[in-house]
Structure formats: C-alpha cells, structure tokens
Structure 1
Amino acid sequence: MLDTLPPPSRHLPDLAHEEKSFTFAHFTCEHAWVIGNILRNALRTACIPAIIHISLPSQTLFHSPSLPGTMPDAETWVQRKRNTVLRWGHSTYYMSCQFEGDYKRFAEYHAMSGDEWSKYTVEGGGYPVFVKGVEGVVGAIVIVGDIEAEKGHGIVVRAIEEYRDLREGFRSPMRAGTVK
C-alpha cells in the first residue's frame, strides 16, 4: 500500500479542500479505533515502527505503536504534531507546504519564542478531524515514525479514505432505531 501512494499536492487550496472533504457526521472513540487499526495494519504491513495517536483536545481516543522500535522521543513528536493541528486547524503537511518546511519562517511568522515554537512542528503526519456543524478542528490523527513528510500525510489520508469506504452504505442498528 505505502509504495503505491501518490505524492500529495503541495498546493495549499487543494490540501485545505482535501482536509475538509473528510468532515465526519460525528467523531467518537469507535471512529478512532477503526482508523487507528487501519493505520496500525498499514504500518505493520510496511514494517514501519511508528506511534499512532488519535485524540480530541482533551481526550486521547487511540494510542498505539505499530511495531516495536520507536524511539522514546516519538511521544514528544506526537504532541508537537497534535498541537500544530489543533492550533492552526490544518495538517502538519499543509503547514510544511505553507512555510516550505522552514521552521524559522514558521516561528517568525507566528511571532513565537524558542520555547513556544518547540511545542509545534511542520513535519507531515498530523491530520485534522472536522465534524459537520462544529466550527474548527475537533481532533487530530497523528503518526510518528521514520516516515517522510509526504508519505506520512499520504498514509493518514489513505486510512481515512479506507474508513470512509468501509462506512459507506453501513447503517448502524442503533441509528436505525432498531437493535438486532
């Protein structure tokens, strides 16, 4: 799967449109569980040790390694990617494209001190969760491992597409008003 990922666009309007196209009707721990496992299986199949983290601003919904071998500082990178997505409402890849991967430009543009900008990143692999009828980003999907920025972005996009395909046509018995 990962070898066949097309490179994502670097055009900011296209990236913003892509992010909004994955707006959920609602987002719960069930969504996070399925998406997290899709990511975990894809990364395991590709033999990529990584951390998968899916959260709301105040609650972790999914957090798991794909394989043994992630470095201890991966947790710091999870937080940096999550913070970036939640603060600016865009994927970390979008932010990387906006600032051409230049941390200094990113920090200067947002008038951040060294201590503050160390809480954020413009490395790919962080993705926003949007919910219909809710203003702004409601959560973040993050992967951290030895993955190129473009590929990290593509892996998350592919997992969300796979989730959407799984859900298409599925009607939960709870939402249908009958329990079977």
Structure 2
Amino acid sequence: MLDQLPSPTRSLDDLAREEKSFTFSHFTCEHAWVIGNILRNALRTADAPAIIHISLAAHQTLFHAPSMPGLMPDDETWVTRKRATVLRWGHSTWYMACKFGGSERSFAEHYGLAAEEKGRYTCEGGGYPVFVKGVEGVVGAIVVAGLEGEQAHGVVVKAVEEYKELRNDFRSPMRSMTMK
C-alpha cells in the first residue's frame, strides 16, 4: 500500500500550497482521533510499524499510538524532532528536506543551529503542520515516525486528504445528543 502512494512533489511552491490547502475551520481532539485512526489503519494494512503523533503547539497531545509492534525507542525521538521542526518553521519536514536536499548539515548551518540544538530538529519527512483559518501560524503537528521520510509524508498527506473528504459528513455522537 505504501509503495502505491505517489511520490510527493519536491517543489517548495507546490508543497507550501498543499500545506495551506488543508487549513481547518477548527481543530479538536475529534479531528485528531479520526486522522490518527485513518493513519493507523493505513499503516496496519501496509504492515508498516510506525508511531503516529498528533498534538497542538501548546504541547497538548491529542493522539499518540503505534500502528503495530516493531518500533524502536529512537522513533519517539524522531517524533519529537519532527514536531519541533514543524512548529518552529511552519512547514512540513518534507518541505524542509526538499529545501535543503535532505542535508541535515545544510539545514543546521542555514539556521545557525548550535551543536546542542542540532538534535532538536530534523529535515526528515513525516512531520506535517496543522493550520486553522483565522489563526496566525501553526496550531499543531501531525507526525509519523518509523518510515522513510518520503513515505511518511505521503501517508500523512493521503490521510489528511481522506479526512477532508469525510469531514463534511462527520458528526460527533456528542453533537447529536440533546442535553436534558
């Protein structure tokens, strides 16, 4: 299944447009739950162990789950690094990878990252920004760690596209309840 994903573009303009095209009217734990489960089901179907992490910029975790057994402890570190990159620079980590040709060294040098800062960020694909209409900057991040960067980016984009198709018909069971 992951092999069937189209290769993501490497055009920075196209990637920036793609990121902004997924601007939400609002973003809650319900959105994260649905997107997280779309990702988890896709990764399980592909027999791909990965960690899925969705959080707000204020360090509030909305969804965090492995797709299946087979992960390494370092995958948690990659989640943290990808999330930090998305929140600091406001772009997907795939965008950053394309901007710097996948070179962590060029990335760190360009931003003048000190030696102790280099390990906090990455330009490995798999981190994706969450934008909300009317809110300045990134409000959260969707991260997949445990896959190659290109695949991680592709599966996140596919999940957000699937969510976008579903969201008009999605009604929370809590919203349909009447309060007595």
Q: Percent identity?
A: 70
Question: What is the Cα deviation at residue 170 of structure 1?
Answer: 4.3
The answer on whether the counterparts of 1:173 and 1:179 sit within 8 Å (CA) in structure 2 is: no
Counterparts in 2 of 1:60 and 1:136: CA distance versus 1, 3 Å: same
Q: Which position in structure 2 is the counterpart of 1:141?
A: 142
TM-score, with length taken from structure 2: 0.93
Q: Which position in structure 1 is the counterpart of 2:19?
A: 19
For structure 1, which runs of at least 5 residues remain unmatched after alignment? none
Deviations 1:49-89 (A, max 9, x none): 11000001220000000001100111111000000000000
DSSP 3-state at the match of 1:10: coil
Counterparts in 2 of 1:171 and 1:62: CA distance versus 1, 3 Å: closer
Work out whether 1:76 is the aligned partner of 2:81.
Answer: no
Question: What is the Cα deviation at residue 117 of structure 1?
Answer: 1.3
Work out whether 1:29 is the aligned partner of 2:14.
Answer: no
CA distance in 1, matches of 2:119, 2:70: 24
Work out whether 1:103 is the aligned partner of 2:104.
Answer: yes
Counterparts in 2 of 1:39 and 1:173: CA distance versus 1, 3 Å: closer
Q: CA RMSD in A?
A: 1.7
Instruction: Supply the AA of the counterpart residue of 2:51.
Output: I
Moved more, 112-121 or 1-10: 1-10
1:1-180 to structure 2, matched below 5 A, reads 1-57=1-57, 58-145=59-146, 147-170=147-170, 179=178
Instruction: Supply the AA of the counterpart residue of 1:93.
Output: W
Deviations 1:29-49 (A, max 9, x none): 000000000000000010111
Give the length in aligned residue pairs.
178
Question: What is the Cα deviation at residue 168 of structure 1?
Answer: 2.6
Counterparts in 2 of 1:42 and 1:111: CA distance versus 1, 3 Å: same
